[in-house]
Chain A
Amino acid sequence: MTIASQIRAETYGADPVAVDIRQIDGSMITADWFSAMVMRGLGWIIQVGDLTTPVQGGGAGTVILAQQPELIIDIPAKWTLIPLRIAVDAEVPLLAADNDESEILMTIDRTQINDVTSGTATQEFPSNMRTDIATGCPFLASSAVTANLTAAPTRSFDLAHRTIVGDFVLSGTPANSSWEELWTLYEPDNPPFIVGPASLQVHWGGTVATSAFCQMTFLAIRSSLVTSLVA
């Protein structure tokens, strides 16, 4: 005997409703967990840089300095950040010398928040990836930090690192030199869970002044969703 059964599952509404699971041509329709979280309002997007004006990177406007990131997000206790996508597009200037370098670094301090409002910086306000939600991101964020943060980030591990090295060509003068474009995209298939208190920093800079734009999307969820899980 075959028992026909219509599979049903509950929606995420305040008053969950059981809905019929659909199919097409014999295939069950499914939705990605991360996309469902974005649909529920747990996804956020933040940008650094203005319409045509990037942020100059580095500590004193040149080489990367840990205490002066170009983007920093504090993740307080009881909250977890899941990075979905971080894109940085840099503008590299004329070379000053052979072996000049510019780089982009995305890194995590898994131990603490870094008081993002303590340095001289621009406070950033993440927008929700579901655009009818106006505010409410649980994370504080700052860009263009130009005075040291009071709580210097401890670099636990990097998410991505990209470097280019310059090389004079032709007549060997800065006006006749060339190097590649500098950009990086961190869009992992399986991102880490950054459990607060912690912070995420994006740096760019180099031996020559390097400016850039950054766009980042991430999920912000209650840590209890993951910290109660066991191996």
Chain B
Amino acid sequence: MTTDTLVFGKNFNSTGAEVRLSAVPDGGLVIGSWLQAMIARGFGWVVQVGDLTTPIVGGGALTVLDADQPELVMDVPAGFTLRPIRIAVDCETPLIAADDDESEIVLSVDRTNVSDANATNGTVETVFNMRTDIVGGSPISVVSAVTTNLSAAPTISAELQRANVVADLAGTPVTSLWGSLKMLYQPKVPPYIVGPATVVVHFGGTVATSGYIQAFFLAFPSSKVINLV
């Protein structure tokens, strides 16, 4: 004998009410993304680097990348986990000075430490919730445009993505051309970056390279994942 079972799910609201699940007319069960549900519940955050039409200049001495002076540093404290869902970097490369000049972007993770970045190192950024009625409360602190060495330099455990361009003079610097430098990290399956840890974005090059960043991520208590086996 086959029985008919009408499927229910519990809501994420404060009462946890049971709600009948829905189907499209041809019999497809409607499914919601777990990540999207986390964002709807207020676990999604976004931060940007750069002003309306003014990017920040990258690199350590405003040219080549320096591990101690990232363009974006996100500290993940103990007890919290960060999942990067979309990090976009768009750079402006200047006129080439010489053959083989290069500009690059690196997105990486230090899985062991927070950097303790603060206003003495760079610009403390405001982190906004991806559900825009929620104000403040990000457990992840973010600093951009670091021009004074971090007290705890990031140790790169893993790179998540990288992009670079290498220049080739067509004649002289004023008659040269190179390609654009941009990077979009939007993984199908993002990693779980369990604090204490740091996510850093660097950009720079042998010529001064400026850029903008938009970083979207989830932040939630690590207890949701570290007990899993």
A residues whose Cβ falls under 8 Å from a Cβ of B: 3-12, 16, 18-22, 28-33, 36, 39, 63-64, 66, 98-99, 101, 103, 105, 108, 110, 155-165, 167-172, 178-180, 188-195, 198, 223, 226-231
Nearest A residue to B36 by beta-carbon distance?
A190
Q: Which residue of A16, A167, A180, A193 is within 8 Å of B39 (Cβ)?
A: A193
Q: Which residue of B24, B95, B131 is within 8 Å of A39 (Cβ)?
A: B24
**Contact at A9–B22, with CB atoms within 8 Å?**
yes
**Contact at A192–B216, with CB atoms within 8 Å?**
yes
27 A–B pairs (Cβ distance < 8 Å), ordered by A: A6-B3, A7-B29, A9-B21, A11-B25, A18-B4, A18-B6, A19-B27, A21-B7, A22-B26, A30-B30, A31-B30, A36-B22, A36-B24, A98-B174, A101-B92, A157-B214, A158-B48, A163-B90, A163-B212, A167-B176, A170-B170, A188-B85, A189-B35, A189-B188, A190-B85, A230-B42, A231-B43
> For B20, what are the chain A residues with a Cβ–Cβ distance below 8 Å?
9-10, 16
> For B76, what are the chain A residues with a Cβ–Cβ distance below 8 Å?
none
Instruction: Tell me the bound Cα distance from A157 to B47 in angstroms.
Output: 7
Within B115-130, which residues are at the interface with A (CB < 8 Å)?
A: 128, 130
Given A157-B47, A190-B36, A192-B44, A163 contacting B55 (CB threshold 8 A)? yes
**Contact at B3–A3, with CB atoms within 8 Å?**
yes
B residues whose Cβ falls under 8 Å from a Cβ of A: 1-7, 11-14, 20-33, 35-36, 39-44, 46-48, 50, 52-53, 55, 85-86, 88, 90-96, 128, 130-133, 170-171, 174-180, 182, 186, 188, 212, 214, 216
Question: Taking the nearest CB of chain A, how far is it from the CB of B2, in angstroms?
Answer: 4
Instruction: Tell me the bound Cα distance from A119 to B4 in angstroms.
Output: 58
